[in-house]
Structure 1
Amino acid sequence: MINRLLNKYNLNKNNVFFLLDNMLENKVDFGDIYFQLKEQEVWVLDNKIIKQGSYFYDNGVGIRAVKNISTSFSHTNLITLKNLISFTDTVCNMVVHTKNNVIKKQLYSNSTNIYPQCNPINNDYIEKKIYILNYIDQLARQQDNRVTDVYAVLTCEYEEIIVGSTDNRLLSSDIRPLIHITIQVIVEQNNNREKGTSGGGGRFKIDEFFKKNTNKGILIDIWIKEAVRIAIVALFAKLSPSGSFPVILGPGWPGILFHEAVGHGLEGDFIRKKTSVFSKKLGLKVASTLCTVVDNGTLYSKRGSINIDDEGVPGQYNILIKNGILKSFLQDKLNAHIMNKKSTGNGRRESYAHLPMPRMTNTYLLAGKDTHSDIINSVEYGIYAVNFSGGQVDITSGNFVFSTSEAYLIKKGKIVHPIKGATLIGLGTEVMQSISMVGDNLHMDEGVGNCVKNGQNIPVSVGQPTIKIDQLTIGGTC
């Protein structure tokens, strides 16, 4: 793949190593060159009509030079050897020259693939994609006569990258497929309209994605039925109570709370700048002893999985919190170098036009020993939150606010009825300490996650088992 992509621009491996050697001759501590080719295809169904079919293509190169904590960066989509030599010289001249502290050479190689090396944007599948979208509309309406509107978006992405860096004796490369579908339905009863949203995706072959089966059935069918179910549940939801109650978070997508309220605070740039609530807590107890949190870029075909990160480091399994003790942070090369640590394979960027930074991949809480039913039965009066629709987090303090899209009231160990308008308000470090039960039913989200940081949007996954938080503030409407 390396030769194929470089040949598109009349380049070869020796040309890339020449550019990297030139950066070292300019006495930088570290430099890298990032080639990227990206395609994206989007199909939109709106009430029985395919209203949009769009295609996006981009390619380019990002060049970075680092000297101590001084970084210079430039990017171009005019990819010729002459232009890259000029850009490399410019970037090296822009960096602030101080005492030399070259990053030692290492050997990174990606020998295994955790997702298929394929292109889901394939003209042979256009009719199949249109068929699937129409099928979504038909099956959703068959589920319930209260369904009035059906909306679906199918997105397919294909990405090729090559990373060359002054600290690596090899060029690293990856081919990254990504498929995602969003299904939204509107139901109406007695002039009350509610919506339900479902969907998912991952790094699959297109035919594998459409046919993917689980012990519960075909995934596409499951997501269609789930969107309808969520919308109908909302029709009968009562106003959420306000106050401080025990809260149970369901498995899977509710792990987004810990991605936001905890995970971001463990990223190396926030730690180095001492803007994270976790900055001085390495080795200390920051969560319940029941909690072990990991970031794992090596899960098969998950949305956040990476064979290599965007600095050429292989994806890794990183234990962040073990039995409540803070064990490590997420690092890219730059912050690891400054903090005298090693990269954890978490240097990620949106595109060649962006600088890499420490970012999560697939972040989740490991399973415990409690059953889902035992956790529900343990609550006298509280909230069971199944899904979130949005939230905000302050990295410095750890304060968060999350809105539920599906939640239920619990009384005397029983789920009584659905509620709406429930907002979870708390402090990430306090919530982690207040977890008293952890389920044995770890589940990853279905493949819907995007993470935005400093304006850069990347795919991620989250997950968790059912957990019980002893006390959490609920902002309700009654």
Structure 2
Amino acid sequence: MQEGRFDPFETLLDRDRAEAILDSALTGAEDGELFLERRRSEALVLDDGRLRNASYDASEGFGLRAVKGEVSGYGHSTEISEAALRRAAETARLAVGAGGGVLADAPARTNRHLYRDIDPMADASFGLKVETLREIDAYARALDPRVVQVSATVAASLQEVFILRPGGGLVSDIRPMARLNISVIVEENGRRESGGTGGGGRTGLAALMTPEHWQAEAREALRIALVNLRAVDAPAGVMDVALGAGWPGILLHEAVGHGLEGDANRKKTSAFAGLMGQQIAARGVTVLDDGTIPDRRGSITVDDEGTPSGRNVLIEDGVLVGFMQDRQNARLMGVAPTGNGRRESFAHAPMPRMTNTYMLGGAADPASIVSEMKDGIYAVGFGGGQVDITNGKFVFSCTEAYRVKNGTLGDPVKGATLIGDGATALKNIRAIGNDMKLDPGIGNCGKAGQWVPVGVGQPTLLIGGLTVGGAGR
């Protein structure tokens, strides 16, 4: 353990006594664990030439869980001590009750490391971070006289977790995260528009703070803002929609991904419940959830139950072949865990969650996908969206999109929303590009009040018959 690193069994808890308390709490249970965590994070925001925010947060604590059947008991505390552990154990045991239970087998072990054992906050001094943000501000303003406001954020965090399982098995993971974001506002003839970009992953800050990196990001943010400056009202109606590669995979994540998580299918609240082995998408559509990609934002060496992450095929050539599972739902459904048991922090119980969810590429030339469109829009940037997993219906707003007529890319459009349902959209995929790529590392996913970092990706796609909401004709 490196100097300054978190190890609760060196300074806060006696491991043998903690194991005895956990084993006692899980008497009669089918599963459970003691999850210990320390998290530190830092964020600096330069807005309109001034350092608007500089924050540093630190937290630590534990959560103890006992699981039996469909019920789980959970106790957690910010105080890591034997006394607090005993109180949490008493709480968790209430879910187990009387009667015998057979403990599930422990997760498999792994020696794999998907990211470096580093503290990204230590990559640069506070002064250098502030100076870099000021340089970004000056550079972006010098790019174009229409730039009236610049905002830049540099953020980093380190999450250190220990997972103690019944019988004494111990798993640890050190999870770095770094990110740089830039947004600009431009003004011309009284009209103001914005553009933003950024990204990162489970790496240090050093690579994100080089001039080569942040200058390219600033130019991209400006490009998007200038595109929006000349955008016209989006059309409205049912039409073909081409989606760009990379970040537009967020539509796949929301409209399809949540519906393929194990708990929603076990409870039959997903639009895909009961469809295992059936054709649910067009031929050629293969969707994976893969937590094993090195350094990616959504990757995890092990999940928050101690199961190694996996490369899980969910849809293969249009056929539903798998769900994402934590240990509890996998056991209840009679399948193996997939390494998708995730939680926001020690104060939350794990549940099935996505990691990096993406669609594999096909054979089509991306340029031909657009050139063969008769009438529709080409969407390459997305903002917020809403999805109902019980029926798969979604609404997404586009942040960068273009009108397409007779194969020609026309004016950029503003105010476009895409409306549809995941099951229908999957079946109406008419072309799959050969340009699959992952997003730049900006995704966060919310479920049941918990937020975790995720990744998305896809190739250029053509989907027929989506409803486009807009003010134009």
For normalisation by structure 2, the TM-score amounts to 0.96
> How much does 1:359 deviate?
0.3
- Which digits, 9 at most, give the CA deviation of each residue in 1:311-346, with x for residues without a partner? 111111000000000000011111112112211000
**Contiguous gaps of at least 5 residues in structure 1:** 212-216
Structure 2 distance, partners of 1:279, 1:68, is 20
Percent identity between matched residues is 42
The aligned residue for residue 31 of structure 2 is 30
- Which digits, 9 at most, give the CA deviation of each residue in 1:366-425, with x for residues without a partner? 011111111111101110001111111110011111110100011121111101111111
Three-state SS of the structure 2 residue aligned to 1:153 is strand
- CA shift in 2, pair 1:471/1:182, >3 Å: same
Q: Are positions 1:260 and 2:251 aligned together?
A: no
Shifted more, 428-437 versus 13-22: the winner is: 13-22
Structure 2 distance, partners of 1:10, 1:425, is 52
Three-state SS of the structure 1 residue aligned to 2:108 is coil
- Which digits, 9 at most, give the CA deviation of each residue in 1:204-263, with x for residues without a partner? 02223324xxxxx93322221111111100110111111111110000110000100000
The aligned residue for residue 18 of structure 1 is 20
How many residues are treated as equivalent by the alignment?
470
The aligned residue for residue 49 of structure 1 is 50
Task: Indicate conservation of the 8 Å contact 1:140/1:147, yes or no.
Answer: yes
Structure 2 distance, partners of 1:244, 1:107, is 48
1:390-429 → structure 2 map (5 Å cutoff): 390-429=384-423
Three-state SS of the structure 1 residue aligned to 2:152 is strand
Three-state SS of the structure 1 residue aligned to 2:462 is strand
Structure 2 distance, partners of 1:11, 1:98, is 29
> How much does 1:84 deviate?
1.2
Three-state SS of the structure 1 residue aligned to 2:121 is coil
Task: Indicate conservation of the 8 Å contact 2:164/2:171, yes or no.
Answer: yes
The aligned residue for residue 109 of structure 1 is 109
The aligned residue for residue 41 of structure 2 is 40
The aligned residue for residue 203 of structure 1 is 202
Task: Indicate conservation of the 8 Å contact 1:36/1:160, yes or no.
Answer: yes
Structure 2 distance, partners of 1:119, 1:262, is 34
Q: Are positions 1:310 and 2:304 aligned together?
A: yes
The aligned residue for residue 193 of structure 1 is 192
Task: Indicate conservation of the 8 Å contact 2:123/2:206, yes or no.
Answer: no
Q: Are positions 1:172 and 2:171 aligned together?
A: yes
Three-state SS of the structure 2 residue aligned to 1:276 is coil
> How much does 1:113 deviate?
1.1
Output the amino acid matched with 2:255. A
Match of 2:366 among 369, 372, 378: 372
1:399-478 → structure 2 map (5 Å cutoff): 399-478=393-472
Three-state SS of the structure 1 residue aligned to 2:7 is helix
> How much does 1:28 deviate?
1.6
Q: Are positions 1:77 and 2:78 aligned together?
A: yes
Structure 2 distance, partners of 1:208, 1:144, is 26
Shifted more, 131-140 versus 185-194: the winner is: 131-140
Three-state SS of the structure 1 residue aligned to 2:67 is strand
Task: Indicate conservation of the 8 Å contact 2:28/2:101, yes or no.
Answer: no
Shifted more, 266-275 versus 135-144: the winner is: 135-144
Shifted more, 40-49 versus 2-11: the winner is: 2-11
1:117-156 → structure 2 map (5 Å cutoff): 117-122=117-122, 124-156=124-156
> How much does 1:4 deviate?
5.2
Structure 1 distance, partners of 2:91, 2:411, is 63
Task: Indicate conservation of the 8 Å contact 2:123/2:204, yes or no.
Answer: no
- CA shift in 2, pair 1:113/1:209, >3 Å: farther
Structure 2 distance, partners of 1:319, 1:169, is 32
Three-state SS of the structure 2 residue aligned to 1:253 is coil
Task: Indicate conservation of the 8 Å contact 1:158/1:175, yes or no.
Answer: yes
Output the amino acid matched with 2:172. S
> How much does 1:96 deviate?
4.4
- CA shift in 2, pair 1:4/1:53, >3 Å: closer
Structure 1 distance, partners of 2:124, 2:198, is 23
Structure 2 distance, partners of 1:44, 1:349, is 27
> How much does 1:67 deviate?
1.6
Match of 1:269 among 241, 251, 263: 263
For normalisation by structure 1, the TM-score amounts to 0.95
Structure 2 distance, partners of 1:127, 1:263, is 41
- CA shift in 2, pair 1:314/1:136, >3 Å: same
- Which digits, 9 at most, give the CA deviation of each residue in 1:284-327, with x for residues without a partner? 00101110000000111111000111111111100000000000
